[in-house]
Amino acid sequence: MRIGFDVRPFLREETGVGVYFRNLLWELARIDRENEYVLFSASWKDRFPAEKIPPFAKGRFIDKKWPVRAVDALWYGRRRPTLDRIAGAKLDLTHSPTPLLLPTRGRTVVTACDLFFLEEPDRADRQAKIHFRTRAERAFREADAVVAISEHTKKALRLRFGLDPGKITVTPLGLNPLFRTPPPPEEVEAVRRRFALPEAFLLFVGASEPRKNLPVLIEALSLLHGRGRREPLAVVGRPGGDAAAVDRRVGERGLRAAVRRLGYLSEGEVRALYHAASVFVFPSLSEGFGLPLLEAMACGLPAAVSEAGALPEIGGQAAVYFDPRSPEAIAGAVARLLDDGGLRAALQVRGRERAGQFGWDRTAARTLALYRSLAGEA
C-alpha cells in the first residue's frame, strides 16, 4: 500500500491531535517495513523540523512553501488538488487525524478525537469553528472508515450521526515511555527551583481553551484559599482562546501570586512537574481521551478529574472524579486528595497499573490492521 498523511498537526507546538498523530506515525515507522508512507506538510514561513519526520523504511516527505490558509481553502472547500497529484503517485489510502477528508483518489480514513465542536460550538477552538462544524458530518459519512480514540467517542458518533458501528474502529491512545521512568531527583528539584514552586502545589496540563474550563478551576482555587489552604496552581500549556478569560478571573479573585502560568514545556519538563506536584487537577468539560491524565497516573501523581467525556473510561478506579461545572465539587475533590494520605497512596499504585494498559504500540497495531482491512489484505 501507499498511504498518505497530512502531518501539519505536529508542525509546531503540539496539543492533543498533534501528539496523537506524531506518536502514531513514529510507531507505524517502527512496526511497518512493507508499506510506503507519503507525508505532506505546508507552510509559508515554518519548515517541518527534520527530527520530527518519522523514519519510515519506505517513506517520502513533501514540504511545500505554501500558505496554510490557501491549502485549507482548496482542500476543504474545493477538494483539490488531490494529495495523489501533489505526491505524483496514486495513493491507496489517506488518513486524516481530524474530521476533514484529505482529497484523494484512494480510500479514506478520518479520526474523531471528540465531538465537542458540535456539542458546545461556542467553546470550540478557531479551527473547529471554521472547518469542523460544517464539514465533519460529510467526512464521517463519506469516509471509508472512522477511527475513534475512545469508546465514549464511538458512542457519540453513533448517537449523533447514526453511523454503522462496523465503520468505527476504536484505537485508544498510548503513553510515551518517558513517563514510565521517574526522573532523577535533581531534575525534579531543578524544575521546582526554576519556577519557584513550593513543596506542595496543584498541577494542570493543557491548552487554555474554553473546553478546559480553567475559569471554574480558578473559582475552586479561590474557595480552597478562602478556607486556609495556600497551595498554588501551576498551569502548563500554550495560551489559547480562553487565556484572557482565565487572566481576568485570576485578577478578580486576587490570585495573581497563586496561579503560575508556566507556558508550553518539553515532555521532560512536564514529567518532572508530575513528580514534583501534590495533585493533578483536570476540570475539562469534554475529553475524547485525556492524555495528561494518563501521564499523571503513570508518574504516580494522584488525580482529581472531571467526570465528563472519556475521562472516567481512561482513569477507571485510579482517580477521583467531580462535576466540572461546580467549583465546590472541584475544591472538595482536591482537598480530599491533599488531606487523605491513604487515598493518595492507593491512587499512586492504581494509577501506575492503569497507565500500564495503554501503549502507542497497541494504537499503531490496531490502526495498521484497519489499513490492511481496507486494502483487502489478510
Q: Over the stretch 276-328, which tens digit does the pLDDT of each residue have?
A: 999 999 999 999 999 999 999 999 999 999 999 999 999 999 999 999 999 99
CA-nearest of 47, 48, 106 to 82 is: 106
CATH of the domain at 192: 3.40.50.2000
Determine the straight-line distance between the first and last CA of the chain, rounded to whole angstroms: 13
23 lies in the same domain as 152 = yes
Residues 294/272, Cβ–Cβ less than 8 Å: no
pLDDT at 48: 81
For 314, list phi and psi in degrees, rounded to 5. Answer: -80, -45
182 lies in the same domain as 288 = yes
267 lies in the same domain as 167 = no
Task: Give ∠ CA 103-105-110 in degrees, rounded to 5.
Answer: 50
3-state secondary structure of 290: coil
* Number of domains within the chain: 2
319 lies in the same domain as 224 = yes
> Which residues make beta-bridge pairs with 205?
236
133 lies in the same domain as 204 = no
203 lies in the same domain as 347 = yes
120 lies in the same domain as 181 = no
Q: Which residues contact 43 (CB under 8 A, 6 or more apart)?
A: 8, 11, 65, 66, 67, 68
Q: Please state, in angstroms and rounded to a whole number, the distance separating the CA atoms of residues 200 and 232.
A: 8
33 lies in the same domain as 133 = yes
pLDDT at 14: 64
17 lies in the same domain as 31 = yes
- Give Rg (Cα) of the chain: 21
Model pLDDT for residues 183-221, shown as the tens digit of each residue: 999 999 999 999 999 999 999 999 899 999 999 999 999
pLDDT at 260: 96
pTM: 0.91
Containing domain of residue 319, as a range? 177-355
pLDDT at 378: 42
Long-range contact set of residues 49-52: C-beta below 8 Å, sequence gap at least 24: 52/10, 52/22
Helix pair angle (243-252, 214-226), 10° resolution: 20
For 105, other C-beta atoms within 10 Å of its C-beta total 12
156 lies in the same domain as 21 = yes
pLDDT at 117: 79
Q: Tell me which residue has cell 513550593.
A: 198
Q: Please state, in angstroms and rounded to a whole number, the distance separating the CA atoms of residues 229 and 218.
A: 14
Residues of the chain below pLDDT 70: 12-15, 123-131, 377-378
pLDDT at 78: 86
CA-nearest of 322, 246, 252, 248 to 282 is: 322
Number of H helices, E strands in the chain: 16, 13
Residues 178/254, Cβ–Cβ less than 8 Å: no
86 lies in the same domain as 213 = no
224 lies in the same domain as 329 = yes
Distances (CA, A) of 71 to 37, 86, 127: 20, 12, 14
What is Dmax (Cα atoms) for the chain?
66
